[in-house]
Structure 1
Amino acid sequence: MSNLTKALLFFISFIIAMPGFCADFYNRNEGDYIINNFRFNDGNTIKKLKIHYVTLGNPKGKPVLILHGTTGDGNSMLNDSFGHALFDKGKPLDAEKYFIILPDAIGTGKSSKPSDELKGNFPHYDYGDMVNAQYQLLKNGLGINHLELIIGNSMGGMNTWLWITKYPDYMTAAIPMAATPAPMSSRNWIMRKMLINSIKEDPDWNNGFYTKQPEKFQTVYHYYDIATNGGDIAWQNKAYNTAKTEEILSDKLKERVSMDANDFLYQWDAARNFDPTQDLTKIKAFILVINSEDDERNPPNTGVMQKALKEIVAAKYYLIPASDKTSGHNTTMNANFWIEELKIFLKEIETYY
């Protein structure tokens, strides 16, 4: 063995041994499913709607659907604190035992979206359209007739609420996170509308047919991110005085957002008619609701979640306590805050059957 080979092997072993290093997921694959003449809820159609997806694990294992949040995609759920914490060998949803499906929702990732070519002519999809396309992917594209579990976060959590009310017999259990089964309203919707309106008021907007990205998009993106993520305690700890706060804000505003403004606007607007309240009694799956105490978009002190739970037969509610370790609406993307609850939930389902 040459000295160069020895050096390379040593370097590789050193990297693998480093804290936080994770090998790729077991049997990871990506693909596209084309839905011909897809009809949106607003009546518009697209001749070929592409839904991109990632799969992990054992195709013969129990299928688990993972749904991402706004501005994310399937791959965004495969970070250390979420994907590796759940799907690695020996973890609660070990990919060698389960079949994990992570689609890119309509308008996101590598699925069909406004920036592909249609721009302002792209149909104004909603969350119902997302769920409809996901169902067709699973049923017709992947041949899955029943899901063991759905886990969705934020927008994915709201998609999960629609899944379990629209297709109540299709899954055994579901975990909607960072989402409330109630109309899009109050400050959550007000801030989303402010985002949308600010972009549309930009001189370069041109009804979505801009030739350069509207500059207001850069500012409103950071505004919404700061206003609705991070957690009060964590923010106070890092922005502890005026000078430090100004420094953080200045650095934040220097960050250029690479996302397309149309794609961004459409994704936030898709929540406009979300409201599963009338269908909560249709739910048949076992439900574990997970929210965080410091979630800026779904504040638990409103009592909205508690009211909704009364309509569901088999639902548990876990509220992650706020601390200097939590991050507001983003808290649930760290599975370490709720992984023990997941283990208990999975055992309860297994015991029932």
Structure 2
Amino acid sequence: MGYEVMELGDVELQSGAILPGTFLAYKTYGTLRADKSNAILYPTAFGDTHVQNEWLLGEGKALDPQHYFIIVPNLLGNGLSSSPSNTPAPWDRGNFPQVTIMDNVRLQHRLVTQRFGISKLALVTGWSFGAMQTFQWAASYPDMVERIAPFAGTAKTWPHTFVFFEGVKAPLEADAGWRSGHDRQTVEKALRAVGRVYAGWGFSQAFYREEGYQQLGYDSLDAFLSGFWDRNFAGSDPYNLLSMLWTGQHADISANPTYKGDFEQALRSIKARTVVMPATTDLYFTPEDSAYETLRMRNAALRPIRSIWGHFAGRGLNPDDSRFIDDELKRLLASSV
């Protein structure tokens, strides 16, 4: 899991709180051209690290390191970048300050401009929380981003999505026994409960009805629940999860001094050539929400991922969905700006 770290010092967050000794973990793939014209940014999703993004990279793919310089910054709170689990006291664990999507993007901007001297990004793309960061990049730095391709994610957290995140948080908040940090069994019990809550949301009703989990090597529903979902958050730090969930719940590209809560103005401000890829059976980043947003962007096309794999159509698990995303990225990168 080799990666690099950029030390950012004491950072004032959007809330006004100071996050001391902030650092951003990232990994790069490929070589930056002398004219720096081949840079792509590919942020991570909730609970993921750069490793989980690698399914979309490779020879012959749209994100081919032989042609592009791909930067994958890790989300604050994911355990590699500054997080409740790796920040010294007294700012660790439950005292870790609240971090927004915009905070993440501002720090990524420092990484891109200060460490690499990049002034234009050929593409920003990402899944889920990575899609939210993608939208924020295009709204916050409209003259810097040439193309964006958010998939299975929206420009803000709509009310029903907020409620979904509340359900994921609930097992951790209902039984605070894990907060002592001394009993790993209690922690793992809470994390299994998080996985079981998520199980009903990550994939669609049709996926379960058609036993799509067999494509992942599970011969029964029970085996899938215990083998995939019970292990999905195993080893995670609950404080990290709660921090990232707060970040996701409060995502909104207009919640900043530039747009002052005017969401539609923020959408109109995006200049990048855009392809929005919602999954047609996503239960919480819904295609209806994506359609609403796309209609209010001036240079955007809606390209739904027609799949029964729900939100996880964007996770690189189903070859047909992965091929669709890759093909759309190839077309977008080949287009003029």
2:195 paired residue number: 222
| Residues 60-98 of structure 1 deviation map (CA, whole Å, 9 limit, x = unaligned) | 15100011110001121113xx223xxx2x332321221
Match for 1:265 among 242, 255, 261? 242
Determine the C-alpha separation between the residues in 2 that align with 1:261 and 1:39. Answer: 24
1:345 pairs with one of 310, 332, 335: 332
Q: In the alignment, which of 65, 84, 87 is matched to residue 114 of structure 1?
A: 84
Question: 8 Å contact 2:57–2:65 — kept in the other structure?
Answer: no
Q: Deviations over 1:98-121 (max 9, x none)?
A: 111011111114211101141111
SS at 1:200's partner residue? helix
User: Normalization by structure 2: what TM-score?
Assistant: 0.83
The residue type paired with residue 7 of structure 2 is I
Higher strand content, 1 or 2: 1
Q: Answer with 1 or 2: which has the greater Rg.
A: 1
CA drift at 1:175: 0.6
1:322 to 296, 307, 319: 307
Task: Provide the residue aligned with 1:288 in structure 2.
Answer: 275
* Residue correspondence of structure 1 range 83-94 to structure 2 within 5 A: 83-84=57-58, 88=59, 90-94=60-64
Aligned residue in 2 for 1:63: 39
What is the DSSP-based 3-state SS (H/G/I as helix, E as strand, rest coil) of the residue aligned with 2:302? strand
User: Deviation per CA, 1:28-64, whole angstroms, max 9, x where unpaired?
Assistant: 9731101111111222112311101101111215100
Name the amino acid aligned to 2:63.
Answer: L
Q: % of aligned pairs identical?
A: 22
2:115 — aligned with what? 141
For the aligned residue pairs, the C-alpha RMSD in angstroms reads: 2.4
Q: Does 1:309 align with 2:294?
A: yes
CA spacing shift, 1:38–1:281, aligned 2, 3 Å: same
Q: Identify which of 100, 109, 112 aligns with 1:126.
A: 100
| Kept in 2: contact 1:239–1:248 (CA 8 A) | no
Superposed displacement of residue 217, structure 1: 2.3
> Given the alignment of the two structures, is residue 99 of structure 1 paired with residue 99 of structure 2, yes or no?
no
- Structure 2 residue 98 is the aligned partner of structure 1 residue 152: no
2:147–2:332 Cα contact (<8 Å) kept: no
Change (3 A) 1:198 1:92: closer
Q: Which runs of 5+ in 2 are unaligned?
A: 214-218, 254-262, 317-321
Matching residue's letter, 2:191: Q
Give the TM-score, by structure 1 length.
0.80
SS in 2 for 1:159: helix
The one-letter amino acid of 2:267's match is L
1:291 match: secondary structure: coil
Which residue matches 1:52?
Answer: 25
